[in-house]
Amino acid sequence: MFQCIEQATEFADKTAIVCGKDSYTYQMLIQESGLFAKHLLQEEPDLLEAPVAFMVNPGFNYVKVQWAIWRAGGIAVPLCLTYPFPSLQYVLEDTGASVIVVSPEFESIFAAYAQERGIRLLVTNQQPDLNANRVLPVIENSRRAMILYTSGTTNLPKGVVTTHANIESQVTTLIKAWDWSSADSTLCVLPLHHVHGIINVVCCSLYAGATCEFIPEFSKELIFDIFSTGRINVFMAVPTVYYKLITHWETLDEVDKTAVKSIFRHFRLMVCGSAALPVTILEKWKQISGHILLERYGMTEIGMAISNPYQGERRAGFVGLPLPGVSVRLADENYQDAPIDQPGEILIKGPNVFLEYWKKPEATRLTFTEDGWFKTGDVAIAENGYFRILGRNSVDIIKSGGYKISALEIEEVLRTHTGITDCAVVGIDNEEWGELIVAAIVVNKTIDTKELDTWLRTKMAAYKTPRKYLLVNELPRNAMGKVVKNEVKQLFV
């Protein structure tokens, strides 16, 4: 990712980051990250790929610390701001990080732990203790740059290791595909321990010389206030965020609704990802904003691999076409090419694909085919070159009564019912059916599940309909807003 830092000098006087009323130029980012890199090094010439964990609020300090770790030769390990301490401790001990960098409000979380284990704890507001004349090391693109942790919904989280070359490939591909430029200005509302926020928003915008604005925490009102300034023209979020923005827009009076619609016309790009985008949300957002959300497909191990086109047809329910430089194929259970027009597991190959799972060589080996294709675990079907995700092999593809059934397809139909706000469909073990299709639903009015079942059978084949419904107040979600299907299954136990 060093090309980004090196070319930042081209935009030295331009605003790189905005946080509230404060703004920071690229020159300030270069200077401050360099000083902090020297602070990290102390008397060492190079961190030599040592993991450095950091729990820093979104904004200038986050990027400064991230760049500093890279410039000092370390591996950046961003921590989730909302995780309980045992989850943070797992990452610290799995990586073996000997340095933790935190915002002042997080210092107390780690103070005793760091002292007990001899871990160096640095706080972003402290005056760096450094040799200002120290020369920073030369970093090769082949070096390890970052460790992001998988969600761990089916087993313990694994550390996904990407090199500087991997990150640069992911970023430059998106800049070309989505037409990023230094004239752009984006708003980051996504968590910064996840590839969506780090790569798609922060790294892409700063690599392109654009401006990246941050908010301290999610707020529908604040997001609309920032939109109203007219300075944002690129926006990326997950389906849950778009749903919340839609519900807020619906509370506005007609004058404000019209004003918001007018503002949205000045945006050039709106992207949605990290979870399946319900067609109902896509259509409603189009009515409000005039934009067809650009859906894409990616994951921690590969960055982005498939995308609807920036210029060209964006198909609802499809994640699009393979990005330039990324090879994609669908495979059967034996990892041979799936028959044409038949579903298969998505396999990926390209310079965007991660290096390894941290200290897990066997897990790394098992996730690649013998000829080097990464097994995503996601099942899709290709229609005229466009890919449509059917779900995860493990949780979204339900094997019931001899059929392979897509939970996402059932969810999409359920969401069209006027009484259903949200839903999650899963398969639970059943002696008769193998897996029994069940649905957890969030409703906005009283619903008779027998009537719901009758209605659903007019929309899809009877063998695809849930055999049991459970009304819940909300669905279990992870930090990215994605429904945790294994926790949904536990609701039916």
Considering 333, 361, 392, which residue would you say is the last residue of a domain? Answer: 392
The reported pTM is: 0.86
Answer yes or no: is 408 within a domain. Answer: yes
Same domain, 385 and 413: no
Write the pLDDT tens digit of every residue in 307-353. Answer: 999 999 999 999 999 999 999 999 998 999 999 989 999 999 999 99
Instruction: Kindly report, residue by residue over 263-322, the tens digit of the pLDDT.
Output: 999 999 999 988 778 888 899 999 999 999 999 999 999 999 999 999 999 999 999 999
The β-bridge relationship of strands 15-19 and 211-214 is parallel
Share the mean pLDDT of the chain.
92
Residue span of the structural domain in which 448 resides: 397-491
Are 341 and 487 in the same domain? no
| 471, 358: one domain | no
Please, which pLDDT band fits residue 153 given cuts at 50, 70 and 90? very low
Give the bridge partners for 295, in sequence order.
272
- For residue 489, which phi and psi values (nearest 5 degrees)? -60, -40
Please tell me the predicted confidence (pLDDT) of residue 138. 94
Tell how far CA 188 is from the center of its chain: 12
Task: Give domain status of residue 352, yes or no.
Answer: yes
Check whether residue 24 and residue 130 sit in a common domain: yes
The residue among 97, 114, 139 that closes a domain is 139
What is the percent of the chain where pLDDT is above 90?
A: 78
Phi/psi at 154 (nearest 5 deg)?
-115, -20
CATH code, domain with 303:
3.40.50.12780
Judge if 384 and 457 occupy the same domain: no
Percent residues over pLDDT 70 in the chain:
97
The per-residue pLDDT for range 156-211, each reduced to its tens digit, is: 789 999 999 999 999 999 999 999 999 999 999 999 999 999 999 999 999 999 99
Query: In this structure, are 89 and 114 located in the same domain?
Result: yes
Give the torsion through C-alpha atoms of 449, 451, 456, 461, to 10 deg. Answer: 100
Residue 435's DSSP bridge partners are 429
117 shares its domain with 37: yes
Same-domain check for residues 134 and 222: no
Beta strands in 155-199 (DSSP E): 159-163, 185-188
pLDDT digits (tens, 9 = 90+) for 428-457: 988 778 889 999 999 999 999 999 999 999
Quick one: 345 and 361 in the same domain?
Answer: yes
How far CA 302 is from CA of 118, 298, 428, in Å, comes to 34, 6, 30
Angle at 285 between CA 195 and CA 321, to 5 degrees: 50
What does the alpha-carbon distance between residue 12 and residue 140 come to, in Å, rounded to a whole number? Answer: 23
Beta bridge partners of 19: 22, 214
Summarize the chain as % helix, strand, coil (round to 5): 35, 25, 40
Short-list 18, 10, 24, 14, CA closest to 231? 18
448 with 476, same domain? yes
Task: State the CATH number of the domain containing residue 478.
Answer: 3.30.300.30
If pLDDT is split at 50, 70 and 90, which confidence band does 131 have? Answer: low
User: How many residues are given for the chain?
Assistant: 493
List, in sequence order, the alpha helices (H) in 186-330: 195, 204-207, 220-228, 239-249, 254-264, 279-289
**Structural domain count, the chain:** 3
- Whether 339 and 208 share a structural domain: yes
Q: Are residues 126 and 87 in the same domain?
A: yes
Is 66 inside a domain boundary? yes
SS3 130: coil
The answer to the question of residue 379 being in a domain is yes
The secondary structure element, H or E, covering residue 362 is helix 361-366
Q: Are 235 and 267 in contact (CB under 8 A)?
A: yes
Distance, CA of 449 to chain centre = 34
Residue 359 lies in a domain: yes
Residue 401 belongs to some domain of the structure: yes
Tell me whether strands 159-163 and 356-357 are parallel, antiparallel or unpaired.
antiparallel
Cα–Cα distance between 480 and 201 in angstroms, integer?
A: 14
Boundary residue ending a domain (359, 392, 425): 392
293, part of any domain: yes
Query: Does a structural domain hold residue 109?
Result: yes
